[in-house]
C-alpha cells in the first residue's frame, strides 16, 4: 500500500544531551534539537497486521495537522521546527477515522466489552499511553512517561490501513445516527483536534461559568474548536483574535461573537471595549507565537476588571514566553499548559457534542487525495488560506 513517510537525519545540536526517554538514532522528545533535513516521500509499505490488543483500521479520512507541517519544515539551519516527540522514518497522519477490518487477540471494544469483529466505525486517540507509569496511574495519560504517538514516532494514518491499540479507538455510532456517511468520516477525523481544544479549555483551563467572556488567540483548527466548545459551554462573549478575514468568518460560524484583527487594532483595547471593561475569564493561546501574544494578554488582564483569569497555552512553540509576575499576582491570574487529548472522557464528550449538532466540518476548506498530501504539507508552511486540509482515501 502507499504511505506518506517522513525521513530526516539524526544530527543532534552540540547542546543536545540524550535524555532517559530518547533512543539514540531513532527518537527524541526534543525533535527540533535533533532532526535535520526533513523530506517527505510516498512509498510502498506492507499492510500491517494487528497483534494482541490491536486493531487494523481501513482509513477513510485523515486531516493534515500543523504538527505534520512543522515536522517536515526546516528552519534556517535545516532542523525541523516541531519541538516535541519524533522518531523517523515514520508514516505521518494522526487526525483520522475509519472502519475496523481486523483485530488481534484480546482487542476489545470499550463500548460493548466484546471483541472487535470488524465493521465498527471509529476514530482514534493519537497518544499511545502505557497505562502503567505513575502519570497514567495518577490519571494523566497525556503525560505518560512511556508515551508513543501515532504519526510522530509510530506509523500513522496517511495510508490505506493503520494498526492501533484497541484501547485508543472510540465508536462514532452516536454521530452516525445524525449525519450522512461522507460527513460521518469527516467529523470523525476532526474528533482528535477538537479534543485537543476541549482538553485545553475544559480540563486544563478549568472551563467557565455560563456568562463569562472568553478570548481565543489564533483562528487555526484548535482555536476555532475552542470557539465552538466555549460557546456551547455558556460563554457570553467569545472573542476571536485572528488577522485572516476568512478564518474570522469561520470563527463566527462556529460560535465567535466578535473577531479582532490584532494587526489593525490594539488587542487589549478591543477586548476591553467589547466586554465593557470587564476583560475575559479565559484566554486561549493557540497561535504559537507567545513572545508576541503574551504582552497583549497581560495588558488586557491588567486593565480589565475580571480577576482570576486563566491563560491556557495550547500551541507548541520553542520560543520563550515573556511573563510579568506582578500582573498575575495583582490580578490573581494564572497560566496553565495543555498537552494532548486523552483521558477524562474527552473523546466521547466531543463525539456527543458533534452528535448534538456541533458541526466541525465547517473548518475543512479543502479535500485532497493521498498523493497530494506531501504537496499540501509543504504549501501550508506559508499559505494560510486553507484552514483544515483533509485527505479522503479512495
Q: Is 67 a catalytic residue?
A: yes
Q: In the structure grid, which three cell numbers stand for residue 206, read together?
A: 478549568
> Is residue 62 within 8 Å of residue 96, measured between CB atoms?
yes
Any idea what DSSP says for residue 141?
G
Q: What is the DSSP pairing of strand 258-260 with strand 86-87?
A: unpaired
CA 342, CA 139: separation in Å to the nearest integer? 10
C-alpha angle 116-98-162 in degrees, rounded to nearest 5 = 80
From residue 351, alpha-carbon distances to 123, 204, 338, 363, 374 in Å are 10, 19, 20, 16, 29
Active-site residue identified among 32, 70, 189, 309:
70
Active-site residue identified among 32, 67, 309, 342:
67
Q: Which alpha helices (DSSP H) does the chain contain, by range?
A: 66-71, 134-137, 173-176, 181-198, 221-232, 245-254, 267-274, 290-303, 325-330, 346-355, 373-379
From residue 348, alpha-carbon distances to 115, 152, 182, 284 in Å are 19, 24, 20, 22
Q: Is 171 a catalytic residue?
A: no
337: helix, coil or strand?
strand
Q: In the structure grid, which three cell numbers stand for residue 167, read together?
A: 484501547
How many Cβ atoms sit within 10 Å of the Cβ of residue 392?
A: 16
Q: In the structure grid, which three cell numbers stand for residue 340, read together?
A: 494532548
CA 218, CA 215: separation in Å to the nearest integer? 10
Q: In the structure grid, which three cell numbers stand for residue 359, read together?
A: 458541526
> Is residue 5 within 8 Å of residue 40, measured between CB atoms?
yes
CA 321, CA 323: separation in Å to the nearest integer? 6
**Residues acting as catalytic residues:** 67, 70
Amino acid at each position: 500500500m502507499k504511505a506518506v513517510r517522513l525521513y530526516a537525519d539524526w544530527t543532534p545540536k552540540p547542546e543536545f544531551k540524550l535524555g532517559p526517554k530518547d533512543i539514540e538514532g531513532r527518537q527524541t522528545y526534543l525533535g527540533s534539537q535533533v532532526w535535520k533535513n526533513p523530506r517527505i516521500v510516498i512509498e510502498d509499505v506492507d499492510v500491517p497486521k494487528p497483534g494482541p490488543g490491536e486493531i487494523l483500521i481501513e482509513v477513510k479520512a485523515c486531516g493534515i495537522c500543523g504538527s505534520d507541517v512543522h515536522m517536515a519544515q526546516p528552519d534556517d539551519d535545516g532542523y525541523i521546527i516541531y519541538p516535541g516527540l519524533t522518531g523517523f522514518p515514520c508514516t505521518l497522519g494522526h487526525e483520522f477515522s475509519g472502519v475496523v477490518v481486523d483485530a488481534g487477540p484480546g482487542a476489545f471494544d470499550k463500548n460493548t466489552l466484546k471483541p472487535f469483529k470488524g465493521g465498527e466505525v471509529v476514530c482514534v486517540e493519537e497518544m499511545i499511553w502505557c497505562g502503567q507509569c505513575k502519570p497514567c496511574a495518577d490519571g494523566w495519560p497525556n503525560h505518560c512517561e512511556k508515551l508513543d504517538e501515532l504519526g510522530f514516532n509510530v506509523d500513522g494514518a496517511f495510508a490505506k490501513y493503520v494498526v492501533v491499540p484497541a484501547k485508543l479507538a472510540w465508536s462514532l455510532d452516536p454521530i452516525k445516527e445524525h449525519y450522512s456517511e461522507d460527513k460521518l468520516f469527516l467529523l470523525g477525523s476532526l474528533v482528535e483536534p477538537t479534543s485537543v481544544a476541549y482538553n485545553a479549555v475544559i480540563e486544563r483551563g478549568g472551563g467557565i461559568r455560563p456568562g463569562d467572556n472568553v478570548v481565543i488567540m489564533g483562528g487555526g483548527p484548535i482555536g476555532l474548536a475552542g470557539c465552538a466548545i466555549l460557546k456551547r459551554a455558556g460563554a457570553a462573549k467569545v472573542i476571536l483574535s485572528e488577522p485572516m478575514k476568512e478564518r474570522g468568518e469561520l470563527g463566527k460560524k462556529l460560535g465567535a461573537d466578535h473577531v479582532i484583527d490584532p494587526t489593525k487594532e490594539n488587542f487589549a483595547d478591543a477586548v476591553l471595549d467589547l466586554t465593557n471593561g470587564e476583560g475575559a475569564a479565559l484566554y486561549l493561546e493557540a497561535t504559537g507565537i507567545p513572545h508576541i501574544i503574551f504582552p497583549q494578554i497581560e495588558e488586557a488582564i491588567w486593565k480589565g476588571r475580571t480577576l482570576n483569569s486563566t491563560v491556557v497555552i495550547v500551541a507548541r512553540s520553542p520560543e520563550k514566553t515573556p511573563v510579568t509576575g506582578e500582573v498575575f499576582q495583582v490580578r490573581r491570574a494564572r497560566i496553565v499548559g495543555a498537552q494532548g487529548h486523552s483521558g477524562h472522557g474527552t473523546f466521547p464528550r466531543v463525539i456527543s457534542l458533534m452528535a448534538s449538532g456541533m458541526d466541525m466540518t465547517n473548518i475543512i476548506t479543502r479535500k485532497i487525495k493521498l498523493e497530494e498530501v506531501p504537496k499540501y504539507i509543504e504549501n501550508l508552511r506559508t499559505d494560510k488560506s486553507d484552514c483544515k486540509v483533509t485527505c479522503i482515501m479512495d
